[in-house]
Amino acid sequence: MSHHARHIHALDKSTIRSLHSGQVIVDLVAIVKELVENALDARATAIDVKLVDRGLNSIQVKDNGHGIPEQDCLYMAKPHCTSKIASFQDIDCVTSYGFRGEALSAICAVANHVQITTRTANDSIAKQYDVDTKGSIVNAKPVNLMAGSGTLVVVESPFYNIPVRRQVAQKTALSTLKNIQDVLVKYALAHPAVRFTLMQAQSTAGTKKNTQWIKPITTDILSGIGIVFSPALADLLQSHDITESFEQMPDQSEPSIHLQCILPKIDADPTSIYRGDRVFIYVNGRPINYLKSELKDLVVMFRKRYRDVTGAVDVPVKKTPFMYMDIHVPTDEYDVNVEPSKSAIMFHNKQRLLNTFEKLLDDVYGSAMDRFFHARTLDQPPTYVGRLTKSCLG
């Protein structure tokens, strides 16, 4: 490192890449997230994630998606190379998770070595590519590794090139594992038709593999919740849908909002409903961090409504009962290009969304008027209130 950088000067390309890569690939969890998104974008129905030495040695993601055509492989890990959009305007109608063409390139920039094996339906055999830190192919050979189409990305020694990140990754290995699992849960719940597995190994040499977690293909989201959490929890929940159309300019087709929700039944046991922080919010299948975006208002609205309607007054105001919501709206109704991870979002018309959700809550839990009359006819609070104790809110 130079100690003489007193004058303004342009940073060299590889330095810029290392700095820039930091934005999207901040930790091991981000690597898994990006690779899983690529697998889903490739229409995979099976995604296997393997962590060697908690991901510090390597992260491997294998899918059975459509694979990468041979002529595209030269560019797959080059910065800003994507097959998903052609120009900036396209992000208004993008339905894929990725569109910036920076994940593979950023992963290569921070890892010691990346190997990508891929096969399309047209290929007779898979091809394995060794990619260097600049995203260039340094070696390619046919391998007999894949029965059908798909892609396997092996990221060896993540953050090898960024000692500080590597140290942080070592220190936070335990929470990283939990966070990776949380990320997989988010994507797995939203994709009932995709099988997900998470496997752990102590070392590359060891044959002993430890399947940490599996989400098989399920008929619907609610049964996925039953498998990922517990059948008992799924029993306390119910699916609800609402579709609202909105008037537009006469010559335009009516955009609509479709909310796909899974919410607690009104008489569900609060011990299970309030356990952990199980809030799953998506926009067109993309997991959104509600704390970082306007969607927080939806969560606050739901929290308050559920508390009011069940009389769960002992529950801390900030505690959210189980909530799953996928907001299906035309892609030009919001902007997802807000931050590098795309987990924040801005709606062009948030009030419409809030109104639609309020309507659904009225249908499910009764309106304020209903509750007013209900309260007058019932002297007794709901029976489960007595069962609610502090210890169940952990």
Ligand X SMILES: Nc1ncnc2c1ncn2[C@@H]1O[C@H](COP(=O)(O)OP(=O)(O)O)[C@@H](O)[C@H]1O
Stretch that binds Mg ion, among 34-42, 133-141, 266-274, 332-340 (CB under 5 A): 34-42
Shortest distance in whole angstroms from residue 67 CB to ligand X: 6
| Residues 92-131 contacting Mg ion, CB under 5 A | 98, 103
Nearer to Mg ion, 65 or 321 (CB): 65
Shortest distance in whole angstroms from residue 140 CB to ligand X: 15
Q: CB count, 10 Å around CB of 336?
A: 20
DSSP labels for 102-116?
A: -HHHHHHHHEEEEEE
Shortest distance in whole angstroms from residue 63 CB to ligand X: 5
Nearer to ligand X, 102 or 326 (CB): 102
Nearer to ligand X, 38 or 320 (CB): 38
Burial 232-260 (b: 16+ CB within 10 A, else e): ebbebbeeeebebeeeeeeeeeebebebb
> What one-letter code names the amino acid at 335?
D
- Give the contact letters, 156-175, x = binds to Mg ion (CB under 5 A), - = no: --------------------
Tell me which residue has tokens 């489960």.
Answer: 384
Element holding 173 (H helix, E strand): helix 173-190
Nearer to ligand X, 135 or 270 (CB): 135
Residue 272 interacting with Mg ion (CB under 5 A): no
Shortest distance in whole angstroms from residue 41 CB to Mg ion: 6
Shortest distance in whole angstroms from residue 44 CB to ligand X: 7
Q: Choose the one of ligand X, Mg ion, none that binds residue 321, judging by a C-beta under 5 to 8 angstroms depending on kind.
A: none
Q: 182 vs 176, 200, 287, 334, CA distance in Å?
A: 10, 15, 11, 25
Q: Which SS3 state, helix, strand or coil, does residue 212 take?
A: strand
The tally of CA atoms less than 13 A away on the side-chain side of residue 38 is 31
> What one-letter code names the amino acid at 61?
V
Q: Choose the one of Mg ion, ligand X, none that binds residue 158, judging by a C-beta under 5 to 8 angstroms depending on kind.
A: none
Residue 40 interacting with Mg ion (CB under 5 A): no
- Three-state SS letters, 308-373: HHHCCCCCCCCCCCCEEEEEECCHHHEECCCCCCCCCCEECCHHHHHHHHHHHHHHHHCCHHHHHH
Q: Choose the one of ligand X, Mg ion, none that binds residue 48, judging by a C-beta under 5 to 8 angstroms depending on kind.
A: none
Shortest distance in whole angstroms from residue 103 CB to Mg ion: 4
Nearer to Mg ion, 49 or 298 (CB): 49
Q: Choose the one of Mg ion, ligand X, none that binds residue 272, judging by a C-beta under 5 to 8 angstroms depending on kind.
A: none
The tally of CA atoms less than 13 A away on the side-chain side of residue 157 is 8
β-strand pairing of 286-287 with 279-283: antiparallel
Residues that bind ligand X (CB under 6 A): 34, 38-39, 41-42, 63, 65-68, 76, 82-84, 98-105, 151
Shortest distance in whole angstroms from residue 63 CB to Mg ion: 12
Q: 49 vs 31, 59, 124, 198, 325, CA distance in Å?
A: 11, 7, 25, 5, 25
Tell me which residue has tokens 């997989």.
Answer: 184
The dihedral region occupied by 141, where left means phi > 0, alpha psi between -120 and 50, and beta the remainder, is beta
Residue 38 interacting with Mg ion (CB under 5 A): yes
- Give the contact letters, 56-95, x = binds to Mg ion (CB under 5 A), - = no: ----------------------------------------
Burial of 176 (0-12, 13-18, 19+ CB in 10 A): buried
Shortest distance in whole angstroms from residue 29 CB to Mg ion: 15
Tell me the residue nearest to ligand X as measured from the CB.
98
Q: Choose the one of ligand X, Mg ion, none that binds residue 84, judging by a C-beta under 5 to 8 angstroms depending on kind.
A: ligand X
| Contact set with Mg ion (CB under 5 A) | 38, 98, 103
